[in-house]
Amino acid sequence: MAAAETTIADPETDRRLMAAALRLGRRHLGSTFPAPAVGVLIVRFDTGVPVIVGRGATPPGASGHAIAIALDEAGEAARGATVYTSIEPTIRHEDGASDTDRLVAAGIQRVVSAMDDPDPQRGGAGHARLRDAGLQVSSGILGEEARRVHAGFIARMQAGRPHVTLKLAVSADGMIGRSSGERVLVSGKEAFARLQAMRIETDATLIGIGTALAADPSLIVRVPGLKSLSPIRVVLDTQLRLSPQSALVQGAGEIPLWVIAGPEAPEAARSALVAAGAEIISAPLGSGGVDLPAALRTLAERGITRLLVEGGARVAASLVGQGLADEVVLFRAPVVVGPDGVRALAGRALSAIERSPRYRIIEEAMLGDDRMVRYERTS
């Protein structure tokens, strides 16, 4: 029989256990949209040493709730225990389930959460409900880390668009390819592995039609056994120039392919792509092709919270120019492409990111011969 009360942890133990809860939730990042990938631990401190008695992560497809899963595992051991959750418990989910009711009924003594719910309608309400019911609540533990893990959920709730990460493989002289279309930037296996992980952790990945025509990519996860974790593939293609024979379209039966077209796209091309398994989404025209803010809004309405943009130059320039790239990941390869190269930002210098006060470096690493630099937009 579990004891009725457990000891309260010190701040360092709280942070360590919250880091573990965040890692647990992160396992399903990219597979839970539109729900956040929540991680939950239920911990007892009877002997002074933390003992985890329940674990929960939002399952793929968000077919359950992390808190309910963790409470089910803990059973009676939840009475008097502490819950570590990567986001504020919800009073009522869309399916009618209530995290807060379940926590109160289970006899939880203390709830430690990393951040408030970013939904303007719900933010703070779950914590208040728990406090009213007599539970101790500590919030904001590892808040910055949680805001990164839940960046997609936050962006969709607060800005009505996905969180956008722009990835570019760039040569030493700031090029992403050669104007002849010839492939020059072959990243090493370490950078390739990192890109696969980025694809797994995103809901959708996007390119412009220029890249589809030049490189014929499939954009699937190319790790043996993990193809089903591939993101939805999205192409910006105003006039529907994408070939039904392209690798993207050929794989559309297995991994969804959405093509965002302008209002005047030819009907015959539309029918051919639909017949081949692609879904066509209409968007108004905007700067450089389709209207990017409108396209991003549409993706968010379809549940997309995290969007990886894999180029090319014009799409990258549009995103950066319109202030829509929240994160930028550059893989810098030690090759020089020369004057016939395609500039990473279609004419604009990369310093629009590298020297901009709007971006700060949050990670730098050598991946084989490639140097990866990750930037986050600060404003």
Ligand X SMILES: NC(=O)c1ccc[n+]([C@@H]2O[C@H](COP(=O)([O-])OP(=O)(O)OC[C@H]3O[C@@H](n4cnc5c(N)ncnc54)[C@H](OP(=O)(O)O)[C@@H]3O)[C@@H](O)[C@H]2O)c1
Residue numbers at the binding site for ligand X (CB under 6 A): 168-169, 176-177, 181, 185, 207-211, 214-215, 236-239, 241, 286, 288-290, 292, 310-315, 318, 342, 346
Q: Which is nearer to ligand X, 117 or 310 (CB)?
A: 310
Q: How far is the CB of 14 from ligand X (least distance, A)?
A: 40
133: burial class by Cβ within 10 Å (0-12, 13-18, 19+)? Answer: middle
Q: How far is the CB of 364 from ligand X (least distance, A)?
A: 18
CB crowding 19-45: b at 16 or more within 10 Å, else e: bbbbebbbebbbbbbbbbbbbbbbbbb
CB of 301 to ligand X, least distance (A): 18
Helix, strand, or coil (residue 17): helix
Tell me how far apart the alpha carbons of residues 316 and 353 are, in angstroms, rounded to a whole number.
Answer: 11
Q: How far is the CB of 163 from ligand X (least distance, A)?
A: 18
Nearer to ligand X, 164 or 290 (CB): 290
The residue (of 14 and 291) whose beta carbon lies closer to ligand X is 291
Residue (115 or 278) nearer to ligand X, CB: 278
Instruction: Give the nearer residue to ligand X in terms of CB position, either 145 or 310.
Output: 310
Q: Shortest Cβ distance from residue 198 to ligand X (Å)?
A: 12
Integer Cα distance of 40 and 20 in angstroms: 9
Residue with Cβ nearer ligand X (165 or 318): 318
Residues with Cβ within 8 Å of 260's Cβ and at least 6 positions away in sequence, in order, are 234, 235, 236, 237, 281, 282, 283, 290, 295, 298
Minimum CB–partner distance for residue 46 and ligand X (Å): 53
Residue 247 structure tokens? 């690798």
Q: Is 39 helix (H, G, I), strand (E, B) or coil?
A: strand
| Phi, psi for residue 122 in degrees, rounded to 5 | -110, -20
Cβ proximity to ligand X, 153 vs 258, nearer residue:
258
Residue 228 — φ and ψ, nearest 5°?
A: -65, -15
DSSP per residue, 185-238: ----HHHHHHHHHHHHT-SEEEEEHHHHHHH-------STT-GGGPPEEEEE-T
**Whether 293 contacts 322, CB under 8 Å:** yes
CB neighbours of residue 207 within 10 Å: 23
**Residue among 145 and 237 whose Cβ is closer to ligand X:** 237
Minimum distance, C-beta of residue 191 to ligand X, in the bound complex (Å): 10
- CB closer to ligand X, 168 vs 200: 168
Q: What are residue 137's DSSP bridge partners? A: 111
CA distance 247 to 377: 33
3-class SS of residue 123 = coil
The minimum distance between CB 305 and ligand X, in angstroms, equals: 21
Nearer of residues 54 and 289 to ligand X, judged by Cβ: 289
Tokens linked to 271: 């029918």
Other C-beta atoms closer than 10 Å to the C-beta of 183 total: 9
CB of 177 to ligand X, least distance (A): 3
Give the shortest CB-88-to-ligand X separation in angstroms: 36
In angstroms, the CA 273 to CA 354 distance is: 39
